[in-house]
Structure 1
């Protein structure tokens, strides 16, 4: 069992082998601190990045971005600490949001890089050459987990992980936090989750329930069809907005999860095809092709519902939502499932009664003919 340690101020932290640094700064998030020695004559910086309360199987990165803010263009110093105790330090240039943090050379000379894991602290030691006549750079730091197969998993999208960047001046020792409004990013993330949960995860299943079970009640006429169409149309429109917001988040903030993204695109394609087929290509009830249309409509519809529910649950994990939201959604789905079971029983009872009444009427009619 790993007992969390209280992060001590950077100026009181003692490195092994009596390594000393002239400057240090406690970073605002992710329980991290930065220590460095700057050599003005050569432009070389010796850096130690210290991450407290690191997990056994995790990766840690500290990077500088000489050209811009944020993730793209960052030149990262990586440490991968596996569950078996093996630890590896290397460099990785970040060229896209879809990076796998693979090993590669940086855009400036790196003279040394190593790492240590002691008392739940992962420390990156490195020495590198700053760009000419430049002591202030953008920097970013991050952490994530390592899968059992050794794959580096994406970092969390909690507020602290979205705030882990800023600027540092190695000469003056001034470090500033990110000046971007993280609240707007978190709000957009929440809006994306709410829209898609309501549309794909709740309204779509309700629309199917309305279409399947209301039509068995005689006297409603076409009301069931109008409700089914209205519910699914509104769900589709909300889903389109949610889909667009997801693309925006992925393209502008680098929030990527391949399974979630692929299923989302598939859902949008299936829903679009379903709308086109339902509105433009629906044959009349007595048409010979109606049975094939029904099969297509049912298969695509139920596949969309199943994939939508799965993707909503996956989305909660991707966006690092609080457990209560996932539990509440599961409660809604279970409630809808119970309603479906009850309505299915009622449907079969009504169908059986209708068949019995029909047989009785036919039997009475036959007796009347014989008499």
Structure 2
């Protein structure tokens, strides 16, 4: 009997350990202020739920937005958009929780993609607004008048971090953050999830990442390798120069498109990542200077200033490659891309670096042998002249 009990205990423990722990369903959650809500819905992403009471006679809704596992020094927001499905026009309720354990709730109308959730009045009446922080949960309580008595509205929710100076940092661009929107029917309780399709903003960011990865991160290093290692082979003649110029020119044109898409994202979608943006502008300035100097100011090989041109060309070129690789990797982090893509790019760069090392060794061997052969020929010629 004891052995049977031990077996049962073992399997029970195994089930407890292996079955994943899920968050508490919204209908089981009890608020500390003893408020009861007639309806609730577990939202599909960001570990959030929405609770509400709808009063048909007055068109007023009492809501509680419940965000679990909230981080210290973070903000959460829940918003409805009475006019469209987009971000612009959303009327948001914001709660800011700081590291000193204080929490503040306020309203913020979103009128620009560059919003930092400034405090302001909404387009409809708000009667009560408060927020609480309990056991890692940030809860926003609000009562408001449904605009035009619409009971079906578009809604969205977000979370982000708070800087040390108190400013709200932009939210992440992870898949969960990009799918935190839908529609809600306050009468039937029906809540629709975000569609799985990629919206235009996500598509534009992906295009921006692809263009810059291909141009700055892959083609330009390959172009540098062409210029570095092909010119030592006499049989190629001037072919190495044409290949080098063609590769770098095409990479520069693609980079211009990637740079333009980045400026558009920053200006129209309000997305600003200062280090990434500054390095991107620096890269475009360096590449533009490199092109202008290479095309219009390149002296002939026997010119006395050619050595200074070479120094400038090498320094700017290798600096551009180093900054470009760093910025591409930074871009992967900003986009919260799957690790597979970042690892694939790192594998590509490591492969190119390995090939470069091998070619460097071959080049030095080739140059040294060529130099020894030339010295031997010169000594033979001198010997013949002396005899």
**Same fold, TM-score > 0.5, yes or no:** yes
Choose which of 11, 16, 24 in structure 1 pairs with 2:40. Answer: 24
Task: State the shift of 1:318 in Å.
Answer: 1.1
Aligned to 1:182, the other structure's residue is in SS state: coil
- Please give the TM-score of this superposition, normalised by the length of structure 2: 0.80
- The 2-side partners of 1:363 and 1:264 are apart by 53
Larger radius of gyration: 2
Q: 2:111 aligns with which of 95, 107, 112?
A: 95
Q: Does 1:117 align with 2:133?
A: yes
In structure 2, what is the equivalent of residue 69 of structure 1? Answer: 85
Query: Which of 75, 79, 100 is equivalent to 1:59?
Result: 75
Residue number among 198, 201, 205 corresponding to 2:217 in the alignment:
201
Residue 213 of structure 1: how far off its partner (Å): 1.7
State the TM-score, normalized to the length of structure 1.
0.83
- Quote the Cα distance in structure 1 between the aligned partners of 2:42 and 2:228: 60
Alignment of 1:44-193 (within 5 A): 44-83=60-99, 85-131=101-147, 133-147=149-163, 151-171=167-187, 173-178=189-194, 181-182=197-198, 186=202, 188-193=204-209
State the secondary structure of the residue aligned to 2:95: strand
**Consecutive unaligned residues in structure 1, runs of 5 or more:** none
Task: Report Cα offsets for 1:223-266 as digits up to 9, x if no partner.
Answer: 21122122212322333443444455556655543332343344
Give the CA deviation at 1:77.
1.8
Deviations 1:33-63 (A, max 9, x none): 2112334555443221012233344321111
Structure 1 residues 345 and 146, CA gap change in structure 2 (3 angstroms): farther
Q: CA deviation at 1:13?
A: 1.9
Within 1, Cα distance between the matches of 2:110 and 2:299? Answer: 53
CA distance in 1 between counterparts of 2:246 and 2:271 reads: 33
Q: Alpha-carbon deviation of 1:21?
A: 1.7
Which residue is equivalent to 2:54?
Answer: 38
Matches within 5 A, 1:245-284: 245-247=261-263, 249=265, 255-284=271-300
Query: Which structure 2 residues correspond to residues 210-229 of structure 1 after superposition, within 5 A?
Result: 210-229=226-245
Q: Structure 2: where are the runs of 5+ without partners? A: 1-19
Between 1:29-38 and 1:177-186, the stretch displaced more is: 177-186
**Correspondent of 2:321 among 290, 297, 305:** 305
Number of residue pairs matched by the alignment? 368
Secondary structure at 1:298's aligned position in 2? helix
